[in-house]
Structure 1
Amino acid sequence: MLEKIAVFILGSCLGSFLNVCIHRLPKEESVVSPRSSCPKCKAKIKWYDNIPLLSYLILRAKCRSCREKIPLRYPLVELITAGLALALYLKFGLSFLFFKFIFFFALLVLVSFIDIDYHAIPVYLCVIGIAVGLALTVWPTLMMLKSGWFNPGSLPLVRAFRGLLFGFGFTYLFKFFGDVFIDFYLKIRKKESIEGERESLGLGDVDFMGMVGVFLGVKSVVLVFFLAPFFAVIYSVFAIIFKRSHLIPYLPYLSLATLTVFFWGDKILSFIL
C-alpha cells in the first residue's frame, strides 16, 4: 500500500514538472530556472504553495498574492500523471517496462496539453520520444540475440523500426488524401477554410503516430488512428449540447486513443475480430 501511495505522489510530482514544461517549452524558456511565478502578479511561488494537488485545494484555486484564479489544468495534469503512474505500477511493478512507459505517457500528456494551449507542438518532443523509444529496444534486442534468437521480425528493435515507418507512412498517406479532399471541397464551396482549418492532419500528428509505432507497434497505430475520431465525435456532441467550443486540436484525441489501446487494445481487437 505504501508503495502505491509513493508511486502516486511521485507521479503527481512528475505532473507538476510537466506543467512547467507545458508553459515554458513553447516559449523556448528554461524549465529549470527561474522559479515558478504567478503569470499575473509575477510573485514567486513558495515551495509550500507548489505541492502537487494539495496546494491547489489549500489555496482554493487562487494565487496567494493577487487572488487570481489558478487554471484547473494544473491539478488536472498532476492527477492524470499520478493516475497513469499508479496504473503502470499495478501492471508492471517497478520494472524496466514501468520506466519505459512512464516516459512515453509523460510525453503524451506533455504534447497534448501544449497542443491544447498553443495549437502546435515542438516537433523535437516527438523526435526525442522516437529516439528514446528506439534506444530502449537496443538492450532487449542484444539479449535476445545473445540467447540465440534467430527470428529477426520478433526482435524489439526491428519491431520498433517497423512501427516507426508504418506510423509515419500510414498517417501521412491519410493526411495526403485528406488534404486533397479538403482542397477540392474548399474550391467547390469557394471557402478559405473549414472552421479555420485547411489541413486534415498536421505534421505534428504524423510525427506523433511514428512515436506511437515505436512504443506500441503496427497494430496499435491502426487502432489508435481509427479510435481517435470516436473520442473527437463524443467530445463534439457534448460541446454542442453544453454550448462550448469544440475546436480542440486533434492530438489530445490521439493521446486518449493511445492510452485506451495500451490498456485495452487486446480486448478491442478480440471484440472486432
Structure 2
Amino acid sequence: MLSVFPFYFFAFIFGALVGSFLNVCIYRLPKDESVVFPPSHCPKCDYRIRFYDNIPVVSYLLLGGKCRSCKTHISLQYPAVELINGLLTLFLFIKFGITWSFLFLFLFCSALVVITFIDLEHQIIPDVISLPGIVIGFAASFLLPWLGWKNSLIGILIGGGSLLIVAYGYQFLTKKEGMGGGDIKLLAMMGAFLGWRSVPFIIFVASLVGSIIGITLMVVQKKDSKLAIPFGPFLAISAILYIFFGKEIIWWYLSLAGSSPGG
C-alpha cells in the first residue's frame, strides 16, 4: 500500500490542480469570456491572484475564504470543485491505472464537473463542452477496446435521440418546452464516452434521483410542479455512478427482480 501511495497522492493533486482551472471555466464560459486571458483575478477588486494563493483547497483555508486584497468572501464552490475533481481523478486512477481509459474518462468527468456547476447556477449546458465532447468520445472509442466505435456511435444516436423524442413528446402534449437541447447533447456525449448500454442506466437513475429531489424541494419550498430544476447534474451524477458502480448496481437490481442477465 505504501508503495502506491505517492501515485495516489499525485493523482489527487493533479485532479485538484485541474479543478482550479475548471473553476475558471465555470465562471467564464457562461459569460463567453476567454478561459485563458486575463489570468485569474478577484472579480470584485481585480486583484491578480498569485500562485501561492491558488493552491487547491489549501489557499482557501489559509485565506479564510476571502480575497487577500479586498477581503471579499470567496464562494465555497471553488474548493468544492477542486476537491471533487481531485477525488474523481484519484478514484479513476485506482480503477484504471495509467491507461487510455483513465485519460479519456478523466477528461469526461472533468467536463461533467464544469457542466454540473454551470447548469446548477445558470440552467444552461454550454455547447462548447458537449459538442466537442461527442467528437472526443467517439475518437476515444478507437483506442478503448471495451468501448469500440460502433458501441460509441450507437450511444451517440440513442443518447441524443431518446431525449429528443422525450422533449418533442412533452412539447406536443403540454404545448410547453420541457427538456432543453443542452440535456440532449449532454446525453449524446455520455453515449459517445460510455457506449449505448450506459444510456438506459443513466436515464433511469437520473430520472429517479431527480424526481426524489424535485418532489422534496417542492414540499420544502411549498412550490408547485412548475419549479424548474436542471436535469444536467442528475445526468452527470448517473454517468459517474455508471463508471464506478454500473455493473454492480445492475446486478443488484436484477437480483431484486429475481432474474439474471442470462435468464
Hey, what's the Cα distance between the residues in 2 that align with 1:258 and 1:119?
19
In 2 relative to 1, CA 240–256 (structure 1 residues): closer, same or farther, beyond 3 Å?
A: same
| 1:269 equivalent among 250, 253, 261 | 250
Opposite residue 248 of structure 2, the aligned amino acid is: K
Q: Percent identity?
A: 38
Does residue 52 of structure 1 match 2:75?
no
TM-score norm. by structure 1 comes to 0.84
2:152 match: 160
Hey, what's the Cα distance between the residues in 2 that align with 1:171 and 1:113?
21
Hey, what's the Cα distance between the residues in 2 that align with 1:244 and 1:81?
34
Opposite residue 202 of structure 2, the aligned amino acid is: V
Does residue 3 of structure 1 match 2:7?
yes
Q: Do the aligned residues in 1 keep the contact of 2:12 with 2:86 (CA within 8 Å)?
A: yes
Q: What does 1:1-273 align with in structure 2 at a 5 Å threshold?
A: 1-139=5-143, 156-183=148-175, 198-236=176-214, 239=217, 243=221, 247-273=228-254
CA RMSD of aligned residues (A): 2.0
TM-score norm. by structure 2 comes to 0.87
Hey, what's the Cα distance between the residues in 1 that align with 2:79 and 2:216?
23
SS of 2:197 mapped into structure 1: helix
Q: Which structure 1 residue ranges, 5 or more long, are not aligned?
A: 142-153, 184-197
Q: 1:73-132 deviations in whole A, cap 9, x for unaligned? A: 111111110010000011011111110100110111111111122211221311111111
Hey, what's the Cα distance between the residues in 1 that align with 2:213 and 2:25?
26
SS of 1:37 mapped into structure 2: coil
Q: 1:124-156 deviations in whole A, cap 9, x for unaligned? A: 311111111111223457xxxxxxxxxxxx870
* Greater mean alpha carbon deviation, residues 206-215 or residues 240-249: 240-249
Hey, what's the Cα distance between the residues in 1 that align with 2:169 and 2:57?
44
Opposite residue 71 of structure 1, the aligned amino acid is: S
In 2 relative to 1, CA 46–231 (structure 1 residues): closer, same or farther, beyond 3 Å?
A: same
Hey, what's the Cα distance between the residues in 1 that align with 2:27 and 2:172?
35
Q: 1:14-64 deviations in whole A, cap 9, x for unaligned? A: 100000011112222221121111111111112111111101111111111
Opposite residue 251 of structure 2, the aligned amino acid is: S
SS of 1:43 mapped into structure 2: coil
Hey, what's the Cα distance between the residues in 1 that align with 2:200 and 2:34?
36
Q: Which structure 2 residue ranges, 5 or more long, are not aligned?
A: 255-263
